[in-house]
Structure 1
């Protein structure tokens, strides 16, 4: 297991690559909420195999404009829900979605590589389509590990390098290209951060919107065969990973810092 040094304040401005104007518009659409967020949350619940605790404390790491908040409230029934993001205009939009949850939601500004929460203070970290924007990915994972209670869950849903580097995504969105990873690369990094998971906790969704070459149109028209698993380069990866229950000094010290 390795740890990454936290970025200094001098480099904090480079820790996140903000979206384009088109990207910020798209993140507010029904397509994003229904075909991307909802589908990912339902898949993550399936991958958890019933391990989600009752009334959990849920941290939405990179909540953006807040469309995830009502969905997380509906599917997880949290006792406490925290929306966390570094982009102030998005958090302002998230206030309306927070009110729509019908429950108490805390909105918190900050960087995923430096989360202002105590050690072992939440049950679930939900990280959806956030990681490919982050430069200090190892530091962010170390923070997710730190704030989770022993036995807590990281619900991680991400686009891979194959998708982020496709021409249409490069045209419409902005990302730190030097840190993009394959599906297996993300899974290896999560394991290296100390999390555990099995094959039954991982999926590789092959959704229409993730096929940037033609968005699955040729398949729907019968002009192209849908490639089977193992024949294609995966564009999405979902995983529910667990912080081990045995969070003792030998493991926790490398992920914990004084506050």
Structure 2
């Protein structure tokens, strides 16, 4: 989940690695996607009451859970599900929800201009290094009056895991995220009108660190950053990580905080 608005050249994971990681996770993703369900449902609830699209796009559709939700909500509309990971699309397509399933990149949408009334994207755009290009493409593809509704992640996400690793070694173990202030600045400069933009913390709890790291791997969201350590993590380093993370323990378990950004923008 790397998303740096000011990263140095070469500081981001190769999108081919991102696509391959999520393709491999297609079969396991839904079993561990409770947070993704909650965030997507909240984003659906934030859609304007007047939103009745003729054609919608689920941008970063993953396994298609919200493509099916959009199809059920807008029964008279045409739906398009798009993802960079072809393995996700192969999983999603037999389950329906959309009329078209397309492999593509949010920074270069393979869609005609002014062809959609709603772009819905939940917890996918944090993978995009060029968020300005994402917003520009959304503005291009939307019809006048169309809506872009997105959720993403910002700085502070998995901070407990990041801080714990910092006590162990100097490698990059946790994916990086854009600052909320950058989302504000880029959305304000996009040419789209901001109906709402907010950040909200979601805290999950785990019995131990391995439960968290196994979940991240099952989601396809484990560490893909340049600078990550190669090979297996040594026993001594892992024990040091477990000790460091224990300092965060709460009565419910070990916390993992996600800082979720919700945005609803409209094209004049």
TM-score tier after normalising by the smaller chain length = 0.5 to 0.7
Does the 8 Å CA contact 2:202/2:258 hold for their aligned counterparts? no
Does the 8 Å CA contact 2:30/2:63 hold for their aligned counterparts? no
CA shift, 1:166, in A, is 5.3
SS in structure 2 of the partner of residue 108 of structure 1: strand
Matching residue of 1:208: 203
Matching residue of 2:260: 236
Matching residue of 1:218: 250
Q: Which has the higher contact order (CA 8 A, sep 6+)?
A: 2
- Structure 2 unaligned residues grouped into runs of 5+: 1-12, 166-170, 207-211, 213-244
Does the 8 Å CA contact 2:158/2:174 hold for their aligned counterparts? no
SS in structure 2 of the partner of residue 163 of structure 1: coil
Does the 8 Å CA contact 2:203/2:258 hold for their aligned counterparts? no
Paired with 2:30 and 2:109, the residues of 1 have a C-alpha distance of: 28
CA shift, 1:189, in A, is 1.3
- Structure 1 unaligned residues grouped into runs of 5+: 1-12, 225-232, 245-259
**How many residue pairs get matched?**
210
Q: Which of the residues 184, 188, 192 maps onto 1:191?
A: 188
Q: Which of the residues 88, 91, 107 maps onto 1:90?
A: 88
- Specify whether residues 237 and 44 from structure 1 end up closer, same or farther in structure 2 by C-alpha distance, changes over 3 A only: same
Q: Residues 148-176 of structure 1: CA distance to partner in whole angstroms, max 9, x if unpaired?
A: 011111111011122166527999x985x
1:142 has 2:136 as partner: yes
Does the 8 Å CA contact 1:17/1:133 hold for their aligned counterparts? no
Query: Hey, which bits of structure 1, 4+ residues long, moved more than 6 A?
Result: 168-171, 210-214
Paired with 1:120 and 1:68, the residues of 2 have a C-alpha distance of: 22
SS in structure 2 of the partner of residue 184 of structure 1: helix
**Greater share of strand residues, 1 or 2?**
2
CA shift, 1:195, in A, is 1.5
TM-score relative to the length of structure 1: 0.66
TM-score relative to the length of structure 2: 0.64
CA shift, 1:79, in A, is 0.8
1:107 has 2:104 as partner: no
Paired with 2:203 and 2:44, the residues of 1 have a C-alpha distance of: 21
Whose Rg is larger? 2
Cα RMSD for the two superposed structures = 3.8
Q: Residues 48-82 of structure 1: CA distance to partner in whole angstroms, max 9, x if unpaired?
A: 341312x5311111112323221222234361111
Matching residue of 2:209: none
